[in-house]
């Protein structure tokens, strides 16, 4: 199993890539932060047999935290989740943290005003949360990557310029996949490609041990 745990969703592309190697459990919780995620994580991943043990776990939080959760607590919550994963036999080298993306302040301020409030976050603050992910795991720094070479990242964000657009979800997948691929490349196929299925006796191919 590959497990994707985040405040929004991008896991469809990952599921396509791993369809014959591992199931992808994509848990996107809109509006959630690490304070809440820490509470529900034990409901999502439990200690079980080796067949249920995730090959990799991605954790993608920070945008909502930068608005509502103090930085020190955010770091503590991430470390708590990683510690819990270790307790259920998911070591640090299987965990990938993804930083929050940058915030387009002008557009987000308009969104805040429409909701009757003032601008409640700055891109520099989001950056502090992105830089705080020092938890002895692999990290994909989306905040820095999207701003590399001073490029315009607004097209990668949705209309509120806070959440990811479909284009950015694809960008994130392409940025993340090489790291995940290293972790799953040695895994056997669970099901064979269609050309490898024995037409006369398909049961031999489809009900075997998955080592194809």
Give residue 80's pLDDT: 96
8 Å CB contact between 164 and 1: no
Give residue 162's pLDDT: 56
Residue 50 has pLDDT above 50, yes or no: yes
* Domains of the chain with CATH codes: 10-207 (3.40.50.1110)
192 token code pair: 């064979």
Residue 10 has pLDDT above 90, yes or no: no
Give residue 158's pLDDT: 59
Instruction: Compare 2 and 42 and report the one with higher pLDDT.
Output: 42
Closest CA to 211 of 189, 185, 186: 189
* 91/82 Cα distance (integer angstroms): 8
Q: Is the dihedral of CA 75, 27, 47, 56 positive or negative?
A: negative
N- to C-terminal Cα separation, the chain = 18
8 Å CB contact between 154 and 161: yes
Give residue 196's pLDDT: 84
Split at pLDDT 50, 70, 90, the class of 8 is low
Q: Which residues of 119-129 are buried (b: 16+ CB within 10 A; e: fewer)?
A: eebebeebbeb
C-alpha angle 24-63-11 in degrees, rounded to nearest 5:
15
Q: How far is CA 201 from CA 26, 195, 196, 197, 204, in A?
A: 34, 13, 12, 8, 6
Closest CA to 9 of 24, 23, 21: 24
Q: How far is CA 22 from CA 3, 10, 53, in A?
A: 10, 17, 11
Q: What is the pLDDT of residues 79-121, one digit of tens each?
A: 999 999 999 999 999 999 999 988 888 877 887 888 898 888 8
- Taking all residues of the chain, what is their mean pLDDT, rounded to a whole number? 81
Q: What is the pLDDT of residues 114-172, one digit of tens each?
A: 889 888 889 999 999 999 877 889 999 989 988 887 766 666 665 555 566 677 778 78
Closest CA to 5 of 53, 52, 58, 75: 58
107 token code pair: 């557009």
Closest CA to 99 of 135, 70, 68: 135
């Amino acid at each position: 199993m590959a497990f994707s745990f985040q405040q929004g969703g991008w896991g469809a592309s990952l599921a396509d890539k791993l369809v014959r190697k591992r199931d992808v459990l994509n848990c996107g919780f809109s509006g959630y932060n690490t304070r809440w995620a820490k509470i529900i994580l034990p409901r999502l991943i439990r200690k079980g047999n080796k067949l249920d043990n995730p090959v990799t776990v991605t954790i993608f939080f920070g945008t909502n935290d930068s608005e509502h959760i103090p930085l020190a607590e955010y770091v503590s919550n991430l470390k708590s989740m990683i510690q819990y994963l270790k307790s259920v036999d998911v070591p640090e080298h299987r965990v990938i943290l993804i930083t929050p993306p940058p915030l387009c302040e002008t557009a987000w301020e308009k969104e805040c005003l429409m909701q009757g409030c003032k601008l409640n976050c700055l891109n520099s603050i989001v950056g502090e949360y992105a830089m705080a992910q020092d938890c002895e795991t692999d990290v994909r720094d989306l905040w820095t990557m999207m701003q590399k070479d001073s490029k315009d990242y607004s097209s990668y964000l949705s209309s509120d310029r806070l959440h990811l657009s479909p284009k950015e979800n694809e960008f994130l997948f392409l940025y993340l996949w090489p790291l995940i691929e290293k972790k799953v490349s040695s895994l056997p196929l669970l099901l064979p490609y269609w050309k490898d299925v024995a037409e006369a006796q398909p049961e031999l191919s489809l009900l075997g041990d998955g080592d194809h």
